[in-house]
Amino acid sequence: MIRVLLVHEESLLRSVLAEWLRREPGLDVDDTPWWGAAARIRSLCPDVCAADLDCSDGHGVPPLGDLCPSGTGGPPALVVLAHASRPGLLKRAAEAGALGFVDKAGSPDRLVRAIRSVASRERFIDASLGFGFLKAAQMPLTRRELSVLSLAAAGASIAEIAGSLHLSHGTVRNYMASITRKTGARNRIDAIRISRGEGWV
Amino acid sequence: MIRVLLVHEESLLRSVLAEWLRREPGLDVDDTPWWGAAARIRSLCPDVCAADLDCSDGHGVPPLGDLCPSGTGGPPALVVLAHASRPGLLKRAAEAGALGFVDKAGSPDRLVRAIRSVASRERFIDASLGFGFLKAAQMPLTRRELSVLSLAAAGASIAEIAGSLHLSHGTVRNYMASITRKTGARNRIDAIRISRGEGWV
């Protein structure tokens, strides 16, 4: 029996998907929204955690660290449901140690195959996500630029970003100009729109 | 028999939800992504169209007009799957003539009830969406301000917005200042973030 914890933000779709997975022989399925996932992993100790990377408001970065809580006897094997068009989230999932990557543009049977693969600690990657991984590998922004961009995307002013990262106003402006150029954006707002759409901030 | 067309952007979740709906007696269910929905409505002439307002990239405004294509013998009764936290999308769905509003934070059984209600041309509104409708009614921005904001959110500069709406640069700046004040934002980028999150642009 493979104990699976399904993490998805929206109750309606989550319960239908959990019910669908429960019909598969050999799967014991629980489900939770992102909020509360860490506590459920601690109490249930699932073998596999299958998490949809899209959060409830449709953007923003999911708290992937919650799926590897400390104090458990080894975290569950992680499968994520992802889009090729959001390389930032693919990269974050890879960095969080995900073993399985299922394309949300594909068939639900792939999710079952991915769960069985990662339960045996084998990688599972949908070929259709390849372009997303390529884009993730080509990400042009530095870690510092990403920090600046994340604060800007959350609505912080140049002064607030400067204060928060201990930089001068001019340096923050230079970072923003470099981010705008590297993302091929027309301006600062366009750079945020592009980066958010791709799941970088 | 109620002919239902399910519109949802993500293949994996859409096919699981369609399969779940097909187990209900009296429902004949087809499904499609947003792209192609208009053509499917023309060819299938469904009684009910059940559409998830969240588009594939998790934000942006779905093409609701596609669900009421011209040249059909009366458009299908429309049920939408929605969030209370996105009043802009609730308002757009109401303006597009939706009869049913199902909260994605609720149970899938509600969707079945909504489909049966609107098939008899009766309204169905999940009580938990009430706060979203209240926020929609309190929307402080004018139609003109929303046009300016939509262009800004898409990455257009002040000059481009001015050119596109036949306004002076100063007038566009005044609109942006007024939008920022009314949305309680810290600055222009924050105003876009807030409005996009709520589904206004």
Spans of all domains in chain A: 2-136, 143-197
pLDDT at B74 over 90: no
| Count of A-B CB contacts under 8 Å | 117
Give me the percent of chain A exceeding a pLDDT of 90.
78
Residues of chain A found within 8 Å of residue B17, distances taken between Cβ atoms = 13, 16
Q: Do A59 and B59 touch (CB under 8 A)?
A: yes
A188 touching B, CB under 8 A?
yes
Phi, psi of A169 (to 5 degrees): -60, -40
Of A59, A154, A160, the CB nearest to B58: A59
Q: Which long-range contacts (CB under 8 A, 24 or more apart) does A61-65 make?
A: A61/A88, A61/A89, A61/A92, A61/A199, A61/A201, A62/A34, A62/A89, A63/A34, A63/A37, A64/A92, A64/A93, A64/A96, A65/A96
Please tell me the least confidently modeled range out of A32-36, A65-69, A155-159.
Answer: A65-69
The ipTM is 0.87
Q: Quick one: fold of A143-197?
A: Arc Repressor Mutant, subunit A (1.10.10)
pLDDT band at B71 (very low <50, low <70, confident <90, very high): low
- Across the range B161-179, mean pLDDT stands at 96
* Backbone dihedral angles phi then psi of residue B103, each to the nearest 5 degrees: -80, 125
pLDDT for B187 equals 93
- pLDDT at position A119 is 97
B113 to chain A, any CB pair closer than 8 A? The answer is no
Mean pLDDT of B12-27: 97
Residue B59 pLDDT grade (very low, low, confident, very high; cuts 50, 70, 90):
low
Does any CB of chain B come closer than 8 Å to the CB of residue A61? no
Provide the pLDDT confidence category of residue A91 given band limits of 50, 70 and 90.
very high
Contact of A102 with chain B, judged by CB distance below 8 Å, is answered with yes
- Mind listing the pLDDT tens digit for each residue in B113-159? 999 999 999 999 999 999 999 989 888 899 999 999 999 999 999 99
Q: Is the pLDDT of residue A2 over 80?
A: yes
DSSP 8-state symbol, B196: H
- Looking at domain A2-136, its CATH superfamily turns out to be Response regulator (3.40.50.2300)
